[in-house]
Amino acid sequence: MTNQQYDEVVQSCKDIFLKKASDYGTSWRVLRPISIMDQIFIKAQRIRTIQETKTNKVGEDITGEFMAMVNYGIIGLIQMDKKDATVEDLPVTEVERLYNQKIGFVKNVMEAKNHDYGEAWRSLSQESLVDLILVKLIRIRQILQNDGKTIISEGIDANYVDIINYSIFALILIREGKHQG
């Protein structure tokens, strides 16, 4: 059941990603690691503010914010491989290939962790998922301040993988009606 739900959520996120790639090209190629991290932070902080204040003045639901965090996480993983910030407009077919490659890796990590943790994420509150995402973002910021080096901890890529998976879990729980969307 989880794999099917996961794939459905990913397909929704990927559809948006590819449509934006058709509209805007790959303008995101100019983003540096700190900018990608900041974009995800903005999305997570908005959700947290809405959760805490119980007020949404913009009117856009938080489902779109979780979807954006999935897609910015994928951008982060792609950009880590590209290494340079050259504005290189990639064809949509190449963007789709890269997206599929990265999300395939992310899903493999989810399946391994899901096995070991016994789908514990299904019991988490939306607030906890957002807090975990914010923790991962603070870790990325610190790793960037350390020139990408860690002594014992996972790197930036592992944190992006977790952010993507936490966001997908939140989207599954929204679709199931267990969390607010």
For 61-118, write each residue's pLDDT tens digit: 999 999 999 999 999 999 999 876 567 789 999 999 999 999 999 999 999 999 999 9
Has this prediction a pTM greater than 0.85? Answer: yes
What the block records as the tokens of 97 is 């290939």
Domain boundaries defined on the chain: 2-175
Contact yes or no for 74/20 (Cβ under 8 A)? no
Q: How many residues does the chain have?
A: 181
Query: What pLDDT is attached to residue 181?
Result: 85
| Alpha-carbon distances, residue 153 vs 45, 116, 140, 164 (angstroms) | 24, 20, 11, 19
Other Cβ atoms closer than 10 A to 60: 10
Q: How far apart are CA 15 and CA 79, in angstroms?
A: 20
